[in-house]
Amino acid sequence: MKSKITRESKGIVSWPEEERPRERLLSRGPHALTDAELIGILVRVGFQGTNAVELGRQLLKKFGSLRAMAEAPLSAMLDIKGLKGAKVAQLSAAMEIARRVSLPDKRKQLLIKGTSQAGEYLKERLRGLPDEHFRVLYLNRRNRLLDDVLIAQGEVDGVKPPLRSIINHALRTNTSSLIAAHNHPSGLTEPSESDIILTRDLISATRPLGMKILDHIIVGEETTYSFADSGLLDELELESFSPYPAKRNLKRIKASP
């Protein structure tokens, strides 16, 4: 036990070469390493009395799993002893790379055939995030995906997507139609009044340009809500012509699994 503590206090560089995580990864592949060792390679160094691998163990103990780490807000990692901005950035970048690798790798060839397919695609993009993200899918005349852009992110109820940014990117990509989407970290999918107003404003802003809003999808923990499937999108299209917004009962709104 004493030799182990001494070895850790001196850092990984003092370990036998065949036991060092980086060397083992290069000789045997990443699958041979534990989660803590993989984290240790990313953070590179620990702090006094704690090497990088031990720091990785502490992180896993605090969050419970790699998935929980990936879904945690940056502030949760910045509060941990031994983690500075650079290390947190490295970990967050690695987690985001892993997240993007899990997405369809033929995004540019993706054809959005309906609201159900759009919902499934967006669930993979937005589910499990610790804060609110607002994305827009830009489609051509054949509903083929031109681009998928994160427009805004922030605290719950604090995200205000700028319509100008949405429109400018639509013009640059020669977009014919758009699908807006955002997540509710609370897990619930019922649209708020601000969600409804934003959708109506987006319809009003894109109509003069010959663009159509096909849907606004809200992603929760287990379900999604589609403005198009609920009939609310059609109501908002009619409302956008009127200066007097209608009052509606949100209790009738249902989410899709």
**Tens digits of pLDDT across the chain (257 residues):** 444 444 444 578 888 888 889 998 999 888 889 999 999 999 888 888 889 999 999 999 988 998 888 888 888 888 888 888 888 888 889 888 887 777 665 555 689 999 999 999 999 889 888 889 999 999 999 999 999 999 998 865 666 889 999 999 999 999 999 999 999 988 889 999 999 999 999 999 999 999 999 999 999 988 999 999 999 999 999 988 766 555 555 444 445 55
CA 152 vs CA 71, 109, 177, 195, 204: distances in Å? 18, 25, 19, 14, 20
Q: How far apart are CA 209 and CA 220, in angstroms?
A: 31
Q: How far apart are CA 40 and CA 34, in angstroms?
A: 10
- Position of tokens 């107003």? 197
Instruction: Please write the tens of the pLDDT for every residue from 28-51.
Output: 888 889 999 999 999 888 888 889
Write out the two tokens for 248: 């509606």
Write out the two tokens for 60: 């896993």
**Cβ-based neighbour number of residue 233 at 10 Å:** 19
Among 129, 235, 113, 216, smallest CA distance to 166 is for 216
Whether the Cβ atoms of residue 137 and residue 118 lie closer than 8 Å to each other: yes
Q: For each of the domains in the chain, give its residue range(s) and CATH number, in order of start.
A: 2-101 (no CATH), 107-252 (3.40.140.10)
Among 148, 171, 165, 158, smallest CA distance to 217 is for 148
φ, ψ for residue 190 (rounded to 5)? -65, 125
